[in-house]
Chain A
């Protein structure tokens, strides 16, 4: 049975890693704490912008350092609300249909730089079978601001997919992968059936050059209405 590997941010949801992080920073125990966290994150913004352009992994590490000092309990207690208010409303209109069709073919794996406890909720909501996502390092019940290894980003996603496929007995030639971003070309390149979803300009160019399917889940103006 083939597996289908889905990037999440931009591919299945219109949000990116920053949106849930901001939500957590805004929803701190006191407004003062929130202000402090946001101010610190703002100071890192130029470095993050540069990292986003050059190295996805560094961007993730900088972004998730904002979680330093937040308790594990708080993360998990607020996770349902964060999912309901940030991620679920941002799902592309046709994401569920694609996941359901992929599920009929075999395993569906969400592979994302987002945080695991949020991706677990998304997987349960969409019916995905596995999650490969970033995990925050927790010490004495509090986030250290670091990510556990391996950091899920860029080329590392390709290695993780290979590992997952080997463990699950999936032939990569039969597997599918979906992403919106040029930074995921390595992940798309390891499977037999890559597809670009709502792609950025560079990925669209590459997908067209290699005849990869380019599809849209955003329910554009000519997409059919979703019937109840």
Chain B
């Protein structure tokens, strides 16, 4: 039986409104199209601080945090960076609440040697203001910058090799964490691919370790990123994490949030267009029209300056693997929608944000990550679209980059992609040299740029989707160059795109629309 969140359109159905970057577009979908909507937000915990204290005192697979503390010990607290959640959450961020209680416990037990490290891996360094947003004024003023700082994966003297797995994966992490008596990880788990061993093993590692799994072979073997059991990436990270925890004691604290991405005035973006009230229909029209008319900077401000009112749905603490099981269960409870049957054509809108462009523009490489990487991978079981099927998405694909955050992306897109789109070849011919570019590394270390290896990882992130999909068609691109460079076709309207996708197709294709954001994932049975 079809799940209520999988809606089949008929002739009377209203047009669907989906994202196209930082605009909304109305699209008329043919009768018979299935539209998959996100679940309603789970109820947030009534008393988050009490839940945090309870989790610390009743951990899974570990003694309570207080029992693991002793005066004079050296503790490092690592914290998820600004890539989570999306958009950033209203203050107080749940990480601030966890840190406040953890730091109280450390102080109560005479633990004074405490460093807080933002586990950025090769992401850009967070600015002081961004860190302040996440940890709150009191912790920021007490620890920044000497004892609260960004991880630096290129600070060779402060990275240390822990060992190598039986598959040859080098485990290298931040020296301060490696030399601590206890590492406490404070996570905010937005989607099932976050958290678990990935937190410490990736968040505090360097390029040497990332090369083990952020490469095209591993990415091709992920079915999907959101299902750790079938993800070669998750398996590799788990192997490395197990080795790491043989040497370094880790106490994991994971938190989950609901999918309340939009605050009250925009809450209708969650809903089936046929179920909107008169007021909501008017508001949706007004918002769509406004976004179509205001300049790009204003559109970016409308969405990015407004934090999300996420509710905290779970706090789990203790041993990494035991904790993560509970975290995953809560994630699936929020996101999972059962879907029967794969589509021939999958349609979706690409929004304005990804984990890698908080406070900057979603450049074309990140559009690719969203389309062929994250949205394609929002499934368990089998992909939403059949092997060789077509993905249609709406996005302007503007050839624009943040010159600081994404400096190495620009050279990757404009100099390397014209050479080849083949991820294997890019990996083999260009990655190692590009990743050592001293100028980009300096921008990563002392500015706010992503590491020069990152654009390669972003291309590999789309590899599973690229291998699976037969065609990708972009609706509403404002240029031909980027889609062509990325191997995509273009269409002016959704109808044109559907006509293009149906060319040569025998019978009536099954069309499915993924109505995200907010985040959802499909549990697909063939």
Contacts and interface: CB of A to CB of B under 8 A. Distances in A.
Contact of B438 (A176, A214, A221, A224): A176
B237 to A, nearest CB: 26
Nearest to B157: A227
A227 B446 contact: no
Interface in A200-228: 208, 211, 213-217, 219-225, 227
Contacts of A195: 439
Given A214-B403, A222-B128, A225-B146, A4 B447 contact: no
Interface stretch (A48-56, A94-102, A132-140): A94-102
Contacts of B446: 94, 215-217, 219-220, 223-224
Given A94-B446, A102-B438, A224 B403 contact: no
B480 interface: no
Interface in A72-104: 94, 97-98, 101-102, 104
B158 A227 contact: yes
B442 interface: yes
B440 interface: yes
Interface residues of A, number: 27
A128 to B, nearest CB: 13
A193 interface: yes
Nearest to B152: A224
Interface size class of B (residues with CB under 8 A): 20 to 34
Nearest to A209: B403
A105 interface: yes
A224 B446 CA distance: 6
B411 interface: yes
Interface in A119-143: none
A144 to B, nearest CB: 39
B155 interface: yes
Interface string A177-200: 010000000000000010100000
Given A225-B146, A227-B155, A178 B439 contact: yes
Interface string B442-465: 110111110000000000000000
Given A178-B439, A217-B442, A222 B403 contact: no
Interface of A: 4, 94, 97-98, 101-102, 104-105, 176, 178, 193, 195, 208, 211, 213-217, 219-225, 227
Given A215-B443, A222-B448, 9 more contacts: A213-B439, A213-B449, A214-B403, A214-B404, A214-B443, A215-B446, A224-B125, A224-B150, A225-B146
